[in-house]
Structure 1
């Protein structure tokens, strides 16, 4: 038998079961937020490891996964805020049950503006209702922010992927390059129109002259930006916000997303800070030794052990930001290339020119470097082997840094960025027990 309440729902009347769920939605919200938040805290590390294992560092796919990690952190922040507001809400519900009349103004005997302030604040029940609305809104818009950031990443990735795909064709055929260039300009124009429509809450969707043709443009971009996942939630929020305030919503969404990306980019890595401080000072750091390091320790450079019992020192050097790529000459043209495109011989020549490797201030020259991944963290880097047979038993210091000799001032500034001079990348103490 068909539920009469469900039938009425077709006429815009809310069925009784949905009202019950709406009234008790806070229970599901708290449970889901707690479970999802726990999961979200784990996902970025797994994504990072998987991306490091699957894609070349600095590639477009690797960058895409970095943005996804940022989006997950933004969603986590929204859920944390939701749980905090719900916590205040639960406390207020408890107080409203014990003290249904709320604040007893006669007992407080406040005067002047303090008394007016209490009158404006309303009852405890109204506060509970406002917190209920606020927490539900936070829960909903958290996914809007998350979806916007993911959509932005999807749009940028699709454009870059297309551009990289057709670049070889453009280089081979000048006529085709012109046609594709016109197409790209047209695509960028449509992108600007969609962006304007977003900021104006649907300007082109409200006009008779543009609604028909713009529908197909919007439909295409819904797929490219994945906005179909959160578009309806955004429209609900906009359509139920009165007056000029509704036009602030797109700017708030973009502002929050852009602000989060900016803050996330300037937050310093405490692990990195501690590592470089210990390197400059020459402190003993267990993260530098494969036999003592914790898998979660900050990774830059490692050797096999703090006590070396054979004649070979095995060095692993992570691909730090200064080594994001290498510039090579093709004729008279300087081109930036990827590590995967270079042989081990080419990489060795480059590193022997750019790196200063010393043991007790004795330069170690003509080192062979090999592309590799760390066996535990899967981070991309380079491995080399240094012969220790000419050194005496006892304590030694391995120092690795960037040789700025011959560098231009601009390049030296890059080496000395972030308040740390990469002239000292790692400074590792070890005992050589000569066999």
Structure 2
């Protein structure tokens, strides 16, 4: 029956379902809101792991999914509230019927105005019904919009990564290919966005549709638009709803910027700083106070602000910048082909729960020792004004994130406040050119008290 959508029986079924859809709306909204609230914290944790492990593609996916879930959550909450008002209005209508303006005994001027502006109670219920149904549909349409954006950028990242993995171009040719392909691809994407904001402006006329049609079909395949295209055009053929469907996404982006920039300032002089210094201790430098939802851990971390042991553990999370700095120090370590990122690894295979580990190669251990030697020579550790001996090794933390670790001898320190300095290469932008200079990268205050 569902395939014969022109039959009278199918239309009667749709009319019946349309009348009773509010029950399904509330049921789906309730489950969706519960699931979205449960998903927000795990997504934030996964985003932290992705940033720390330099998993750009995975981090990009989470960054795109997170605002989509936020939009869906906000719209569904508004939908549930208005549906509650609608159900309350229905109950009130059963008890008291329509609004009797004559019984209110207002002056003729107010009675005429209320009759014109407020109207009948049934009209109010009908408007609530339309708003609720529209919000429910547009909530999922917004999620599809974000999915389309994610797929557009993800397709570009996938194509460039595949070309890099195949190795058909040299490093310089790969950069040129990425630049050329990005210019062409995102120019076409800009046309699609202009058509979206203009509510189909490129589909009108005679010449423009002929030029635009191949681009429209290409991005239609990439964004899986067959899933939500009927929803879009159903909104666009309505005078009021089409503006809502088109501009709710820019409105959300603008609202997010305004909300994120509105903060409470506690002091005229004192405020939260991004990095620790001689007078400020950032929570991102101490393991015992790092919030699991912090977006980034600082360059180096120590266990706590108060140290009572004769040694001080120091951990430096791995980043691709640190590895690039190693390559600049010793060009012989720079591989011909960059193996970082997602790719197939035949050294470890998981088959039906059984793991098979293969030899890493005869030269890997010696190369790792050479890598660590260069890394140790790059950085100087100082406490107050004294250089401290150190030897970094590499390990992984509980989140399987690579990091460098060493233990510093502080048994000679006096009780009280001390400053830990890490000096080494850091990036600096000058005239739009990234340079690496030697400087104090991080300053961490701590207090040492002997047991």
TM-score scaled to structure 1, two decimals? 0.69
**Contact 2:50–2:56 (Cα < 8 Å) also in 1:** no
How far 1:134 moved relative to its partner?
Answer: 0.7
CA distance in 1, matches of 2:447, 2:191: 60
- 1:157 is aligned to 154
- 1:69 is aligned to 66
What does the per-residue CA deviation read over 1:337-378, in whole Å, with 9 as the maximum and x for residues that have no partner?
x996994445445553xxx753xx344546445565542x66
User: Against the structure 1 CA distance between its residues 91 and 374, is the aligned structure 2 distance closer, same or farther, given a 3 Å change threshold?
Assistant: farther
**Contact 1:70–1:261 (Cα < 8 Å) also in 2:** no
**Structure 1 range deviating more: 138-147 or 84-93:** 84-93
How far 1:325 moved relative to its partner?
Answer: 7.7
**Contact 1:200–1:247 (Cα < 8 Å) also in 2:** no
| SS of equivalent to 1:383 | strand
* Corresponding pairs, count: 402
User: Unaligned 5+ residue runs, structure 1?
Assistant: 412-421
User: Against the structure 1 CA distance between its residues 181 and 203, is the aligned structure 2 distance closer, same or farther, given a 3 Å change threshold?
Assistant: same
**Structure 1 range deviating more: 30-39 or 7-16:** 7-16
Does the alignment pair 1:101 with 2:123? no
What does the per-residue CA deviation read over 1:7-32, in whole Å, with 9 as the maximum and x for residues that have no partner?
98424775444333222222222222
**Contact 2:65–2:147 (Cα < 8 Å) also in 1:** yes
CA distance in 2, matches of 1:10, 1:406: 66
- Of the three residues 32, 39, 58, the one matched with 1:36 is 32
- 2:231 is aligned to 233
CA distance in 2, matches of 1:312, 1:20: 74
User: Against the structure 1 CA distance between its residues 250 and 220, is the aligned structure 2 distance closer, same or farther, given a 3 Å change threshold?
Assistant: same
User: Against the structure 1 CA distance between its residues 63 and 122, is the aligned structure 2 distance closer, same or farther, given a 3 Å change threshold?
Assistant: same
CA distance in 1, matches of 2:245, 2:326: 42
Higher helix proportion (structure 1 or 2): 1
TM-score scaled to structure 2, two decimals? 0.67
- 2:310 is aligned to 311
**Contact 1:145–1:256 (Cα < 8 Å) also in 2:** no
- 1:415 is aligned to none
| SS of equivalent to 1:384 | strand
**Contact 1:326–1:339 (Cα < 8 Å) also in 2:** no
How far 1:252 moved relative to its partner?
Answer: 0.6
Matches within 5 A, 1:206-221: 216-221=214-219
Does the alignment pair 1:387 with 2:409? yes
CA distance in 2, matches of 1:351, 1:108: 85
What does the per-residue CA deviation read over 1:35-81, in whole Å, with 9 as the maximum and x for residues that have no partner?
21121123243234445556732623322322222222222222222
What does the per-residue CA deviation read over 1:79-128, in whole Å, with 9 as the maximum and x for residues that have no partner?
22222222332332333233222364642625746861453111222112
User: Unaligned 5+ residue runs, structure 2?
Assistant: 266-270, 342-367, 433-439
How far 1:311 moved relative to its partner?
Answer: 3.0
